[in-house]
Structure 1
Amino acid sequence: MRMRTARLGALTLSLMTSVSMAWAVESTDPIKLTLHDWSGQLINTKIMGNILKEAGYNVEYVQADYIAQFAGLKNGDLHLAMEIWETTGREALDEATGTGKVVNVGETGLMAIEEWWYPSYMKDRCPGLPNWEALKDCAEEFSTAETAPYGRYVGGPVTWGGFDEERVEALELDFEVVHAGTDAALFAELESAYQREDPIMLWVYVPHWAPAKYDGEFVEFPPYSAECYADPSVGVNPDLAYDCGKPRGPIWKAAWSGLKEKWPGAYDVIEAYNISNEEMSAMVGKVDLEGVDIDTVVADWMKTNKDRWSGWITQ
């Protein structure tokens, strides 16, 4: 009798939990999260998606362009973008939130740096570094057979933005910008050059494993300001904008403005979500360096941090 009573009690509790969860989920329509083309963003997005699933929500992942995704966020075809970098996406984010159709859901906890980076062995060939002005005298040290006498700068995929071509022109640097097709190709270039101590200057970002694996430095450009990007008269070149470095700062969560009304519980979870640079760099390293599947890395994080994400759901 006691065993039967206990089983009935467990069943009742299970039913109550299911009903409570059904009430908590305001709509069974899928919440559409955007996926991009770098490992950290895929990890971040799938962690968020898994947490929302644990809260009872239906989740759908949609491949989308980093900047062009804002069109979908504005019209509600897309619902959540987990990584808008202060370094490259702030202008697009501000424009989108200015329409009232997109909302900034706050910081992810990640702090971003995206800038020109070189291996330390290049300082012997360009001793004025990390000061950007040294590049005026030693651009050829970064050249390849294809770009000589111009230095070669390997930028990220074109969809990442970043204004590198404009920066080269405004600062009058003798560099040719060559865009990597993918995130993986970008760091394959670094690995290949680093092993042979070949010349290389490329886009490196944080959080990422590369600055920990390779000895090197970011170029120190004139400090970023919004005016530098917007007003040609501001900065070292009175005639051209973008004559400064890239901004640094948080990585933001952006959402369709209707998300909070349609899925208020999910919105609260998204708003509470945060993760650190150290956590993310370690996970990206597992994927990119150790070949661990992204879904496995995400599952490990979910298991290790259950108390943490459960608190975001029940707050």
Structure 2
Amino acid sequence: MKKTLITAVAALSVGIVTPASAFEPESDQTIKLMMADWSSMLINTEILNIILSTYGYDVEKVIADDSARYPGFESGDLTIALETWQTTQDAAFTASVATGKVLDMGELGPQAKEDWWYPSYMEEQCPGLPDWKALRECAEAFAAPETAPKGRYLSGPVSWGGFDEERVEALGLPFEVVHSGTDAAMFAELRAAYERKAPIILWVYKPHWAPSVYDGKFVDFPKYEPACYEDASWGVNPDAKYDCGKPEGWIKKMAWAEGEEIWPCAYDIVRNFTMDGDEVGALVYEVDVEGRGVEEVAMEWAKENEAKWRGWAACAEK
């Protein structure tokens, strides 16, 4: 059975070439794990890669666009994704599952929150915060040379979605939305601004290390309801949708439906795969702040938590 160098080394590094039961995978077809452009997804996916590779599965990691993943899963070009965030992907995920070609594999564990966030020191320049209406009056405090007199809001990569441009227009906020090219670049800019106490307001999400390490708050927008995204008459602006904050909720795993017949044990492992939010934030901190490699951090977790993930793989341990 073919293996990439990474997965073969991963299995050897954990100290397990074959499991005690000498488990044989149900198929030699390749399981394609979706990789996306934020650190927790990279780390969790690498941990799953190590686990599946240890049990002899042929695994390939495939980079895919977050919002455009669904045709790939419906066709089988992608097999498994460990992070689908309700905050941005609820409607697309629900529609994809409804086709019968994609499986809802259950919640990963952490509860998701992501929205506009600012360091607490900005309240001196915008004392009405965290109320969103304060941003109408003090946007210039968040301005950059290229946006002045409008404020600058640093959003995530375009592929994340999130409707920030629509939110700015619907709520009448004098801000320009600037999209970061990558997750790492966005949080690097936060670190640099925080150290200088420079103006910044940006997309922050949880679970993540930033809200734990830095003193700051999420903006209090009108609370999300599904009607906010579907019915313009809902909310503070009767003529526009998206006049509210982003939804909060689950982070779910998803999979190509036909794959369960090919790799039933692997799918059991994925369903059992769960992580704690604080645990995920700590792993991301090791990568983003301490500068360690994703593979190194994932391998360390796998070595320290072997009993846990072997419990997830009861179907292969019989």
Asked if Structure 1 and Structure 2 have the same fold, meaning a TM-score greater than 0.5 normalized by the shorter chain, the answer is: yes
Q: Does 1:251 align with 2:239?
A: no
Residue 32 of structure 1 deviates from its aligned partner by 0.3
Deviation of 1:190 after TM superposition, in Å, equals 1.0
d(CA) in 1 for partners of 2:103 and 2:238? Answer: 35
Residue identity in the other structure for 2:41: Q
Q: Kindly indicate whether the alpha-carbon contact (under 8 Å) linking 2:88 and 2:160 is maintained by their aligned counterparts in 1.
A: yes
Match of 2:112 in 1: 112
How far, CA to CA, are the matches of 1:237 and 1:261 in structure 2? 49
Q: Does 1:153 align with 2:150?
A: no
Aligned pair in 2 of structure 1 residues 54, 139: CA closer, same or farther (>3 Å)?
Answer: same
Q: Does 1:235 align with 2:235?
A: yes
d(CA) in 2 for partners of 1:130, 1:261: 50
Partner of 2:127: 127
SS in 2 for 1:235: coil
Correspondences of 1:15-54 after superposition (within 5 Å): 17-18=21-22, 21-22=23-24, 25-54=25-54
String of CA shifts for 1:51-84, please: whole Å, max 9, x gaps.
Answer: 1122321111111111111111010111011110
1:17 positional shift: 3.3
Query: Which amino acid is 1:277 matched to?
Result: G
Give SS of 1:132's match.
coil
Which of these two proteins has the greater Rg computed from alpha carbons?
1
Aligned-partner Cα distance in 2 for 1:204–1:76: 32
CA shift for structure 1 position 199: 1.1
Letter in 1 for 2:77: D
Residue in 2 aligned with 1:169?
169
Deviation at 1:49, TM superposition (A): 1.6
**Within 2, Cα distance between the matches of 1:91 and 1:17?**
42
Q: Is the 8 A contact 2:19 2:54 kept in 1?
A: no
Q: d(CA) in 1 for partners of 2:245 and 2:219?
A: 9
Structure 2 counterpart of 1:17, one-letter code = S
Q: CA RMSD in A?
A: 1.4
CA distance in structure 2 between the partners assigned to 1:15 and 1:290 by the alignment: 32
Task: Quickly say closer, same or farther: Cα 1:26–1:15, change in 2 above 3 A.
Answer: closer
Q: Which runs of 5 or more structure 1 residues have no equivalent in the other structure?
A: 1-13
CA distance in structure 2 between the aligned counterparts of 1:304 and 1:261, rounded to whole angstroms: 32
Does the 8 Å contact 2:70/2:96 carry over to 1?
yes
- 2:3 is aligned to none
Aligned twin of 1:74: 74
- Output the TM-score relative to the length of structure 2: 0.91
Report matched runs for 1:266-281 at 5 Å.
266-281=266-281
Q: CA–CA distance in 2 between the matches of 1:112 and 1:197?
A: 27
Alpha-carbon distance in structure 1 between the residues aligned to 2:117 and 2:19? 56
The runs of at least 4 consecutive aligned structure 1 residues that moved more than 6 Å come to none
Q: Name 2:313's counterpart in structure 1.
A: 313
Unmatched tracts of structure 2, length 5 or more = 1-17
Instruction: Indicate if the aligned counterparts of 2:52 and 2:59 stay in contact, CA closer than 8 A.
Output: yes
Distance in 1 (CA, whole Å) between partners of 2:304 and 2:247 is 33
Question: In structure 2, how many angstroms separate the alpha carbons of the residues matched to 1:37 and 1:173?
Answer: 28
The Cα offsets for residues 198-238 of structure 1, whole Å up to 9 and x where unpaired, read as 21110011111111221110001000111111111111111
Cα distance, 1:125–1:263 mapped onto 2, change above 3 Å: same
How far the C-alpha of 1:122 sits from its partner, in A, is 0.5
Instruction: Give TM-score, length-normalised by structure 1.
Output: 0.92
In 2: Cα distance, 1:49 partner to 1:90 partner = 26
Distance in 2 separating the partners of 1:56 and 1:164: 43
1:254 alignment partner AA? M
**Which residue of structure 2 aligns with residue 137 of structure 1?**
137
1:290 to 1:15, Cα distance in 2 relative to 1, 3 A: closer
Separation in structure 2 between the aligned mates of residue 15 and residue 60 of structure 1, nearest angstrom: 20
Identity of aligned residues (%): 54
Give the direction of change, closer, same or farther, for the CA distance of 1:30–1:137 in structure 2 (3 Å limit). same
Task: Find the aligned partners of 2:70 and 2:99 in 1 and give their Cα distance.
Answer: 11
8 Å CA contact 2:97, 2:104 repeated in 1: yes
Match for residue 101 of structure 2?
Answer: 101
Deviations 1:88-119 (A, max 9, x none): 11111011111111111010012111110001
